[in-house]
Structure 1
């Protein structure tokens, strides 16, 4: 007698075919990424050439794309004045070594943080203020404004801390944060009070520092009677706007004499024009 076949008589399920659309999509993404990288490499070719030619031994301290972008911007603004801004976050600066960026572009001015809010002095302000002057740089001082603290107390702290002399830049108000427990209108009133008190004391109109979005959203119209120092690190911006006095274009620069990354700025003019706006 023949044994019955105990194997399943069910047919196997057909294998699913890989979606051709999915494959094409991922090839497209990969191809787009390659094109983007190659485009950036070509756009910043001079920066990459310099970086790999002269800085290959220092790659642990720098970001390749940031460095290439910085060089591209410096090349585009050849003839304008280049400077930097510093605070205690840069540690103890060896000012006699602070001379150029990329061994080519002279650093001719520096903006130094002096005070924060209504109760704190920058730990390195005094040393930086003296060191910059000894290094024959045009110097300026700025105050980091805290929106939720009394504006006149903040102004008085700055006034007590900073003595401006002939040839120094006008005082700077640094506003970056939105208030937590007050309206935007109250914030603007406080900013006006600080600006007016400082201008009355020094006899020169202050400059306002902020980010580009903050400037566009909150300050551009109501504070149009002031000059602005704008921060924007976007890869899509490579030139200073006509209505900006200073442009802080990077926070990742390497400068001789400074052990930490530092902000670098462009003044929208030449050295003679920069000297013209200094305190008399």
Structure 2
């Protein structure tokens, strides 16, 4: 009796019936998991029986707590979810949640996240007055460094990834988060941070010029300002060319997708059906 054809059929049936990998979605700043219910429902509509988790930690004002605290606590939740899904999960992070999600990948490099979708997140940093006015009404981008580059300022999530291109030395001196997760500054965990990124099957970076909040909008693709506020794209940066974070490794192995979509404002990315249908769901295999 030949077992190979039978075993192959069983494998095909198992793969077909096992459905899509579970999805975890991390919300943005000053919001909560309710804002992501449309995205979650769209995923379940297109991928029936897919488990979608939308953690409710750090909603509202608590989203301004330090990034490392949010990463470690939410990371434990996601690792527990992963433990129950050894086949792997997919991870989506919107706005600040995209930076938190990326930090989780680095802080927990033994994760089993297969695809990470960063949706309009300040991966390269943030420098914009319009963004500040969401919660600091009287602050401007030119003066914000006075607060954020201090011990007090580093107790806010925004201060942790505020990157003033005109005060780079102060940024590197005081910021206890972004220079490290970007591997611009070395620490004992530097190689683990890189491993957390290179372990991905796919990294998808989504943003666009109509965003209006992430500044520069290319930060959603790891681009950022030079000291004259000219934008330096990711692939033109020395840190990319030296592969300090593993992004070049992903790019060279066709595991990095950089997607620009015009006409979408910052508060619409997670509820825009065209974005969801064309640039999110196709990557949730």
TM-score (normalizing by structure 2): 0.28
Q: Which one has the largest radius of gyration?
A: 1
